[in-house]
Amino acid sequence: MTTKRSDHAYPISYNKEVDSIIDGMTKREYFAIMIMQGLTVANLEFEDVYQKARLAVAEADALIDILSAE
């Protein structure tokens, strides 16, 4: 099974404010969030929070590249 950065982890969501169904979170966003949590609890030293976020996104992209190749 291949995966793409734009595939949805949660295909739809509901926005109560405008009473409409919207696209949900992508797999890339979901993976980056999970990786960011791991980096946060690992107590690693980063120059700033943006470095941690960039690393989480890069790791999520790497994971998706590997999953796409299988």
Asked whether the whole model's pTM tops 0.75, one would answer no
Rounded to 5 degrees, φ, ψ at 49 are -65, -25
pLDDT tens, 27-49?
889 999 999 999 999 988 999 88
What is the overall mean pLDDT for the chain? Answer: 85
> Which alpha helices (H) appear in the chain, and where do they start and end?
27-41, 49-69
Q: Would you state the pLDDT for residue 62?
A: 95
β partners of residue 21: 14
